[in-house]
Structure 1
Amino acid sequence: MRIAIFHNLPSGGAKRALMEWTRRLAQRHEVHVYTLSTADHDYCDLRPYITHHIVYTFEPLPLFNSPFGRLNQWQRWKDLGRLAVLYQSLAQHIDKEGYDVVFTHPCKFTFIPILNIYLRSPTVYYLHEHFPNQVNRSIHRPYTRSEGVRKILDRVDPLIGLYQNQLRALQDLAVANTRLFLANSDFTLRQFQEHYSAPSALSRYGVNTEQFRPDENTPRERHLLSVGELSPRKGFDFLIQGLANIPDSNRPPLRLICNMQLEQEREYLCQLAEKSGVQMEILTNLNSEQLAQEYRKTRLVVYTPVQEPFGLVPLEAMACGTPVLGIAEGGVPETVIEGVTGRLSPRDPARFAEILLEMLKQPDLLRKMGQNGVDIVRKIWSWEQSTHTVEQHLLQASKAGPN
């Protein structure tokens, strides 16, 4: 097949997944990548695996600082129009090339790219998560403005409705012109299907078991490990609250590894940890090899994001022989098998602390769970299997004709 791939992704799990698929698809098919200048091209770089990497330049309009922040909705609304013009041109370029199928991924501005509206080539979109503007994930932070005041202002602010209504209208058009949607988890699939009746199917991620693998020569250290962007939705505050329920003498340190960070969230977490008596360390910008080594060094990975669509972190930890204590929500229960590769906790800090102590008191069980994780990942979570599933869906879509 001749496959065009589009993305406008930042660093993170979605870009890593795209890199794994791209390098495998390119071994058997002609793959060209189209993207915007606003994407992160260096993280999980696709360019070594392909011959054509076409970048369209886009510069979002500047955003205002307080007290003019509410004008940002106007700026974003104007950007939607500018993106529409750019994506029409890009769609004409792709269609002219006569690809068998176009495999699109999120745009950091609109989630499903507006590009999908204008493509005539058969198009498959990958749901790394359901469109965030259609998901209710409200997380309070003390550094944000008063919730009451904000809600009152939001109700009378016409610019919010202008931008949100236009964004939703464009998303609806893009969905209507997309042949097939692939989702990374049952959780993501259900969220999408609650809003749309478009053709959709499950197509899971995988794990690079050559990179993420156990090493018996690496000693386990006392700290706990959690991984993800330093933002409210990753639930690091819950980890700190949970650890605060453990007596000082038994409380393990917490190490966070973050590829991206919001400075206000970092300050908030550091203050919360200090106030709670939790020893916390934050590492940033680790490459994949360094990340794998961190998985091997910890006794236990703790993973408690808010309504996470899937999360590669538990699978990468399991591939390294490290058990996981995860949150029993979102897509996490689809990877962490209760009592086999780890444990699952409700979003209750006291109960989380109880389960954590139970696990830490049973080192033999931790080792057994770690080995179970290695065996299960190698059996059912390979990128080769994942790519084969994606490949079959792309082939099916290519045979169905234009959108």
Structure 2
Amino acid sequence: MAPRKKRNLDIWFIHPDLGIGGAERLVVDAAVGLQQLGHRVTIFTSHCDKSHCFDEVKDGTLTVHVRGNTLIPPHLFHRFFILCAILRQIHLTLTLSSDPPPDPSATTGPPPTDPLYPRLPPPDVIFIDQLSASIPILRILYPTTKILFYCHFPDKLLSPRNHPLAHLYRLPFDFLEGYSTSKSHCLLVNSLFTRSIFAQSFTGIASTPRVVYPCVDTFPPPTTLPIQPPAHNHLTFPNLLLSINRFERKKNIALAIHSFSLLPRTLRHASSTRLILAGGYDPRNAENAQYHLDLTKLCDTLGLQHATCKNYISALSLPDSVDVIFLLSIPASLKAELLSKARLLLYTPSNEHFGIVPLEAMLSCTPVLAVNSGGPLETVVEGETGWLRPPDMKEWSAIMKKVLFEMSDSQIRIMGERGKERVEREFSKEKMAVSLQEVMLEMLEKDMGEPLFGVGELGVLIGVVMGLVAMGVWWFL
């Protein structure tokens, strides 16, 4: 199919909380990529902490407006997160057509030409992700604008339902998610795996979402470590096995420890083999703290010497007897260094929606061992850029042994180069931006999406929104 005629578009992004998570990384990469293609991009969000966001937001590369954050808090006594998130998004949506106060702290990027913040003209396309609740409202407010919804994963599958009342409480939210999602002009997902789950979760939506993969920066800026490491330290040993994940149970980091423990002790010590478990850790998060403690106890049970380091400097002075190193909340510079030095990346989660870490490893010419489910099935090529195995410790240990003691350095290098070529070819920021541009141009050419309201739908929608508010007030009182 011939590429569509290029024209510069006015594109808005609507995102709930512009922090530093995976969804936020995708939004920032998509916005920057489209901006570099010549489109005018503006991001609207209900929250953006300039000390806790990506550099492109901090340095003004992107124009970001914070709105819809003055009436509804993010939660009520650490409850009702989804209700508050929906109401905050609706509030944000309603402020788009009104004149916001001239609050410099609520805006990043180039200042508007008019200091009174005049009303913005309707955009060509609105890109919205995570929450779909405001899509019907957006279609009413901007009838000529096309609405694109990017589904990272169905929200209805991410909420715990450990009690019948919790299931009952979620019913109206689930209905609203399905209804509002169906009213977008175009649906995108981050992987074929997510598309299959989407189809199972929203049986009433006839259209099939398209896949636009997340990306990594194939031209990352150079990073430097805080200090030059000594020649002899655990972070530069030749046989490093690396896992990078948040310290959460669903990431199944224990699989890496169990598999590592099956390697012969004499071989491990003779070859200076170490297992490094790095990733996101928030001491205020009870699950992070408890899971880290459980993993250290597992090491004790398996007879593995371990050490926990909270900064780069402390990791340089560990005794040689340490087998497993826990690195908590590593900076980007250390993450890049570890990825470039590791012999093998261990990606332990099952049914991961997509998984960006395997791409980062392959970009660093490091082979990947991942669980054979979810997103890694679409990123890791068996036997060429890494291996895909069930979460069985014996099978994982066999691959570790092969990589550490049986494959030559040249074989590892060739596999790593294939991985890097694959990432640069299929998962670059430039390719994602061009894919989004093609989708948006097609949306503007065709009459896509379902009619906004069918018979009785408006009344049902109003009833659901009022019911959500009433339920939240009742539960709170």
Shorter-chain TM-score range: 0.7 to 0.9
Q: Does 1:259 align with 2:280?
A: yes
Shift of 1:185: 1.3
1:173 aligns with 2:179: yes
Aligned positions, number: 367
Q: Does 1:162 align with 2:168?
A: yes
Task: Indicate yes or no: 2:379 matched with 1:335.
Answer: yes
Deviations 1:180-216 (A, max 9, x none): 121221111111122233341011122212228999x
Structure 2, unaligned stretches of length 5 or more?
1-8, 98-119, 140-144, 225-234, 283-287, 305-322, 453-477
> Distance in 2 between the 1:280 and 1:229 partners?
17
Counterparts of 2:370 and 2:88, CA distance in 1: 41
How far did residue 288 of structure 1 move?
3.3
Residue of structure 2 aligned with 1:277, choices 279, 303, 311: 303
Contact 2:280-2:328 within 8 A present in 1 as well: yes
Please point out which of 434, 457, 462 is paired with 1:388.
434
| Residues 3-402 of structure 1: pairs in structure 2 closer than 5 A | 3-9=11-17, 10-27=19-36, 28-37=38-47, 42-47=52-57, 48-57=60-69, 58-63=72-77, 72=79, 75-76=80-81, 80=83, 82-94=84-96, 97-106=121-130, 112-120=131-139, 121-128=145-152, 130-134=153-157, 154-155=163-164, 158=165, 160-196=166-202, 197-211=206-220, 221-251=238-268, 252-261=273-282, 262-278=288-304, 279-361=323-405, 362-364=407-409, 365-400=411-446
- RMSD over equivalenced CA pairs, Å: 3.0
Deviations 1:131-176 (A, max 9, x none): 253269x9xxxxxxxxxxx96xx24xx2x13321122122112212
Query: Which SS does the other structure have where 1:395 is aligned?
Result: helix
Q: CA deviation at 1:339?
A: 0.8
Distance of 1:18 and 1:61 partners within structure 2: 23
CA shift, 1:399, in A, is 4.1
In 1, distance between residues paired with 2:222 and 2:424?
Answer: 10
1:216-256 deviations in Å (ceiling 9; x for gaps): xx966322111122111212111112222222223442212
Q: What is the Cα deviation at residue 178 of structure 1? A: 1.5
Change beyond 3 A, Cα 1:269–1:63 = farther
- Cα distance in 2 for residues equivalent to 1:357 and 1:132: 39
Gaps of 5+ in 1: 65-71, 107-111, 139-149
Deviates more, 1:12-21 or 1:41-50: 41-50
| Alpha-carbon distance change, 41 to 194 in structure 1, aligned in 2, over 3 angstroms | farther
Q: Which moved more, 1:278-287 or 1:262-271?
A: 278-287
CA contact (8 A) 1:116 1:174 kept: yes
CA distance in 1: counterparts of 2:208 and 2:121, whole angstroms: 26
Change (3 A) 1:59 1:280: farther
For 2:238 and 2:68, how far apart are their aligned partners in 1? 46
Distance across 1 between alignment mates of 2:67 and 2:330: 26
The C-alpha deviation readout for 1:280-328, integer Å capped at 9, x for no partner, is 3232333434322210011111101121011111111111111111111
Matched position secondary structure for 1:310: coil
RCO higher in structure (CA 8 A, sep ≥6)? 1
Larger Rg: 2
SS in 2 for 1:283: strand
CA contact (8 A) 1:3 1:99 kept: yes
Aligned to 2:308: none
- Alpha-carbon distance in structure 2 between the residues aligned to 1:213 and 1:15: 22
Q: What TM-score results when the alignment is normalised by the length of structure 1?
A: 0.82
Aligned mates of 1:235, 1:125 — CA distance in 2: 30
For the 8 Å contact 1:103–1:126, the answer to whether it is kept is yes
Q: Quick one: which amino acid aligns to residue 26 of structure 1? A: Q
Distance 1:118 1:341, change over 3 A: same
| Between 171-180 and 35-44, the greater mean CA deviation after superposition | 35-44
CA gap of 1:345–1:132, structure 2 versus 1, over 3 A, is farther
- SS of 1:253's partner is strand
Given that 1:214 and 1:320 are in contact with CA atoms closer than 8 Å, whether structure 2 keeps it comes out as: no
* In structure 1, C-alpha distance between the alignment counterparts of 2:441 and 2:327, rounded to whole Å: 41
Contact 2:48 2:66 in 1 (8 A): no
- Report the alpha carbon displacement of residue 341 of structure 1 after superposing the two structures with TM: 0.8
CA shift for structure 1 position 21:
1.6
SS at match of 1:339: coil
